[in-house]
Amino acid sequence: MKKIGTRQEYHKQIGKNILWKEDCPFCLSGQTRDTCIHSFWYWDILFNKYPYSWNEHHLMAVPKRHIAFSYELLEEEISELQDIYRFMKDFFEKAGEKDYFSATRETMGNRSVEHYHIHFIPGRLQWKFLRCMLEKQWYPIDAEVKIKK
């Protein structure tokens, strides 16, 4: 696997805020070959080169067909998600990761790539982690959050 980079490096490299269909790194031939660890019929499993978690086990499930939102998934693509979730469970167990979670964005706001994909990130989704992840992606978090106990 190639060196992990930061989100700032990624945005500087692409020179824009979002990659549309014509320059989609998931669709361009050969762009993801070095990070693909498993290929299903409708989906590829990729290592994230610029992970939110700063962890080499940050994976993405990416449909082979270019779509922007989950509501565009075909029945066959949705059905194959069962196999993907089983694959992820086995992957994280073998990697020694006790916990992991999945996440996706359903809006185009602050996404880097138009192509729909699901993130699988090692660890537990906790507020401190989420806040740090969002701040490192340049989301403004101004309010002090107080959690009731």
Domain that residue 113 falls in: 7-136
In a domain, 74, yes or no: yes
In a domain, 12, yes or no: yes
CATH number at residue 12: 3.30.428.10
User: How confident is the model over 27-77, as pLDDT tens digits?
Assistant: 876 656 778 999 999 999 999 887 766 677 889 999 999 999 999 999 999
Type of residue numbered 123: G
Mean pLDDT (the chain) is 77
In a domain, 1, yes or no: no
Share of the chain above pLDDT 90, in %: 35
Residues with Cβ within 8 Å of residue 28, at least 6 apart in sequence: none
Give the total number of structural domains in the chain. 1
In a domain, 2, yes or no: no
In a domain, 73, yes or no: yes
In a domain, 144, yes or no: no
Distance CA 62, CA 26 (A): 8
Distance CA 122, CA 32 (A): 21
In a domain, 143, yes or no: no
pTM of the model: 0.72
In a domain, 149, yes or no: no
For residue 113, the 8-state DSSP code is B
